Amino acid sequence: MPSLTTKRGRRRWRGIVIVQGNRRERLFPDDIKKSRHAAIVWEEAERTNLHKSLAETIATDCLLNLWAGEYLDDVRTRFSVKTYKEKQTAFKRLIKMFDLTPDTPIDRIDTQMARRFLKHQCDTRSGYAANKDRKNLARAWS
C-alpha cells in the first residue's frame, strides 16, 4: 500500500514492494489522488515482476555444472542472501552475454572472453559494477 512521505517539505506518494527480501521503491510526483492510484498500479505490477523473476531460476547450475552450480551452492550455504544474489547475477550476465548453454565446455571460457565481458560491463554499467563482477567471477574461478 502506498504511503505519503515528506521530503524537503514536499509531500509525495511512495510505492514500496518487498518480496523475499528484495525491495523496490519509487516516488511519485505529488500527493494527489492520481499519483496514489499510479503508485498502487506500480506496486501491483512490480510485485508480479518480482515474483516472476524469483520463480524463474536461471540455469546457472546447468552451465558447467562442476563450476557455476557447485560454487553457487557453496556460496548459498556460507554467505548471506545478498552475497549469493550478487554472485548469481554476475553468472547470469556472463551467460546472457555469450549465449552459453549447459553443454558448454569449461575451456571455452577463456581470458579474452572474460576481458570482453568486463569491458562491456564497464561501458554499459560502470567501472564499479564491472569490478564487482570481476571479483565474483575471479573468486569462482579460483
Range of the domain at 36: 3-55
Q: How far apart are CA 134 and CA 71, in angstroms?
A: 15
- End-of-domain residue from the set 55, 83, 99: 55
- Is there a single domain that holds both residue 67 and residue 93? yes
- Is there a single domain that holds both residue 131 and residue 87? yes
Number of domains in the chain: 2
How many residues are there in the chain?
142
- Is there a single domain that holds both residue 27 and residue 92? no
What are the helix and strand counts (H, E) for the chain?
Answer: 5, 3
What is residue 32's DSSP assignment? S
- Is there a single domain that holds both residue 78 and residue 137? yes
- Is there a single domain that holds both residue 73 and residue 38? no
Are the beta carbons of 25 and 15 closer than 8 angstroms?
A: yes
- Is there a single domain that holds both residue 75 and residue 136? yes
- Is there a single domain that holds both residue 73 and residue 124? yes
- Tens-level pLDDT at each residue, the chain (142 residues): 899 999 888 999 999 998 877 789 999 998 899 999 999 999 999 998 888 876 664 443 345 667 787 888 889 989 999 999 999 999 889 888 888 876 677 777 788 988 999 999 999 999 999 999 999 988 888 7
Task: Tell whether pTM > 0.85.
Answer: no
- Is there a single domain that holds both residue 80 and residue 115? yes
Q: How far apart are CA 115 and CA 50, in angstroms?
A: 31
